[in-house]
Structure 1
């Protein structure tokens, strides 16, 4: 009568390892083992790389939004300027008081009045549309992505003497520090003959790179008082941009900000502006995970085919082991370990490959860019200048759990088949 042994005893590991590395001439399936191992490795690596790139892209995209734009914008609903005239305006004449009340809201880190308008920026024979932001020098210095000395040129202390311009806009206009750029606005001085365009020339004293192509290509900062005069907003401000301590929970501040802003206050948060795009990214992440999970499943199915061949080739050995007293459970565990070894080794190699690829994503993209002759990553389409990767422990854990889980599950069927093999039938024709 067969005696029971402790599950996963040392001899079971030795037999499984011996079968796994046996040559084909000895009845092994080393080629199938290598195919399974490489397939799992590539599947796990692809899953980790994809998750890291998607996480990095989202983090960089959100960081460029929050680092150069307001977390929430406070503006006023249009109100009739003079009763009965039918003339409405959303200008905030009491912007200083509003900004002061908003700054006192717990969790608010910044409240900066703004003037916003559009103008045509021209230099020599080049021109481009510019989004002009009128802001004080003190408030401009608190914008992280704009006031970063590592990615900017010029002296921010001279902002009161000229304008600050995005690097892409400066490049397209051919502008360098010290050049004078003309800004042309269609809403200029009102005369008896109509409204004439307003044309002013300003020295470029600061050139910044915010990290977002659309911002760097269009944005111009102008001193607040000058912007009031240039856009005929002497009576007030267009809006107040507000930053909070936790931008991901910006909606929690809605009641307090509306109360501090007073009657007619309206809000527009960064989630309102970019929420649909971020939701699309989340959906794409889920779809990509499912697709790559299917690829990992296909790779693990090679384990099943390899084990079925191994069971067929090792029928005589199974019969001998059973007659020597090996139980069905021991045989099942031996062949389960054969498949598990492949899954574990393939998963470990895939994690190593995926992590290395994600850590050296810049060098990989530089090589791809060289192969394509440049232009492999177009910031005008993707918004940011580089393909980032952000390794997160949870993403790596998901990939490992998926790979190991599938590897163990697909191993059970051929292992059960080996355990149920009748030793008499296996040895009858030997």
Structure 2
């Protein structure tokens, strides 16, 4: 019985390498190999680049939410006062806040008064959302308070207000200027309610990284906000920051119990849930579409191998008559196709990783060439195109590309292995 050849023996690699280096007379095979190589490279690059941008966009968007807003908002159900008039707010907010602070995992609790006003300066007026909050609560808001991308004197917040950089730019104010806030719900007189107009010194200007926040948000000391909005002794809600907001559900039962009777919870995932679900669906759809692109690129390997098998029919017949087994012939042509897939995948991974690492200068160049305005923060919400390179995304692209390359290579390789040597040499 003849000795069996060990799989992927050195001579099989040698034959495959000679076939890959097509001579000038076999230029068609060489062209198809290059087309396959470039196609796989570009497909893997597009897949990794898209996945990294989607991951970066999600990470940046979620970070701006968690860094600028409460992780959990505790708000009261509708109630009535002693005279039977509807009222909404916590009168015992200090006691409820103290109870919430004792919940394990809670890092900051801040009673808040909220209202909408018209902000005016230098003859320009803009709508603004006012948050009445304690100085400690403002400092703990990561993208607004201490350590944020901001300037001014945070220690002077009890004597002034903090505003977003977009609002400051629109109104033409900076630190030290005075900003007028106009509220329609002002003093109640015999002739009705008159608007309330107060001027406050701007002591802190922040950039949270979200267009809608920087364009509209104003922070005011809690006591001043209570007076300004006629909310003396009340807090509209209590903002809670936790140590692990990604798993906010594990805090809900404890927070609801500590908040007391008549309290309701609204988490950041509930407020942004529809957008996050839309991102997840879009990520899955994009992966499927780009997977089809990778499949189309790998199909070029089949075309190249079929041409190679046709050109090498005589060689296959000679090798078979010399004792080469069907398995050896299959492995020779499998190596030819797989080698193209491996090289193309490696080059695509390198290009994709470089794109993710240097996305800022690349995007700046594209923005410059196109004349600007490629990325509109008023639509996207954030100011720049982010990219986050994740090992899982790279591995998904590599496994997909190599898997498809290996699978499609088997069919033309089996065709070569099953070629009848007599038929191959009949007309030679």
After TM superposition, list the pairs within 5 Å mapping 1:203-218 onto structure 2: 203-218=201-216
C-alpha distance in 2 between matches for 1:9 and 1:148? 65
Counterpart of 1:58 in structure 2 is 58
The answer as to whether partners of 1:110 and 1:244 remain within 8 angstroms in 2 is yes
Cα deviation for residue 257 of structure 1 reads 1.2
- 2:235 — aligned with what? 237
Q: Does 1:416 align with 2:400?
A: no
- Deviation string for 1:183-206 (max 9, x for gaps)? 000000111111110000001111
Provide the rounded CA distance (Å) in 2 between the counterparts of 1:413 and 1:259: 64
Shift of residue 28 of structure 1? 6.6
Inter-partner Cα distance in structure 2 for 1:400 and 1:358: 16
Please list, as runs of the form range in 1=range in 2, the aligned pairs for 1:91-106 lying within 5 A after superposition. 91-106=89-104
Superposed CA deviations along residues 126-167 of structure 1, whole A, max 9, x for unmatched, are 010010000111211111101254611101011111100000
1:180 and 2:189 correspond = no
Say how many residue pairs are matched: 428
Q: What are the within-5 Å matches in structure 2 for residues 323-342 of structure 1?
A: 323-342=321-340
**For residues 171 and 329 of structure 2, what CA distance do their matches in structure 1 show?**
76
Look up the match of 1:367: 365
Q: Distance in 1 between matches of 2:59 and 2:344?
A: 30
Measure the CA separation in 1 of the matches of 2:377 and 2:23. Answer: 52
Q: Is the 8 Å Cα contact of residues 119 and 129 (structure 1) preserved in structure 2?
A: yes
Question: Which stretches of structure 1, 4 residues or longer, exceed 3 Å deviation after superposition?
Answer: none
| Residue pair 1:319, 1:427 contacting (<8 A) in 2 also | yes
What's 1:280 paired with? 278
CA-CA distance at 1:23 after TM superposition: 2.3
Match of 1:34 in 2: 34
Residue of structure 2 equivalent to 1:126? 124
Structure 2 equivalent of residue 78 of structure 1:
78
Partner of 1:298: 296
Moved more, 411-420 or 246-255: 246-255
Deviation at 1:86, TM superposition (A): 3.8
| CA distance, structure 1, for counterparts of residue 24 and residue 4 of structure 2 | 31
* SS of residue matched to 1:402: helix
Structure 1 unmatched runs, 5+: none
What is the Cα-based RMSD across aligned positions, in Å? 1.1
Determine the C-alpha separation between the residues in 2 that align with 1:73 and 1:28: 67
The residue number in structure 2 matching 1:247 is: 245
Q: In structure 1, how many angstroms separate the alpha carbons of the residues matched to 2:249 and 2:292?
A: 37
Q: Residue 320 and residue 128 in structure 1: after superposition, are their counterparts in 2 closer, same or farther (change >3 A)? A: same
Any stretches of 5+ residues in structure 2 without a counterpart?
A: none
Q: Is contact 1:318–1:418 with CA below 8 Å preserved after alignment?
A: yes
* Aligned equivalents of 2:190, 2:27: Cα separation in 1: 101
Residue 176 of structure 1 deviates from its aligned partner by 1.2
- Are the aligned partners of 2:363 and 2:385 in contact in 1 as well (CA < 8 Å)? yes
Native 8 Å contact 1:3 1:327 kept in 2: no
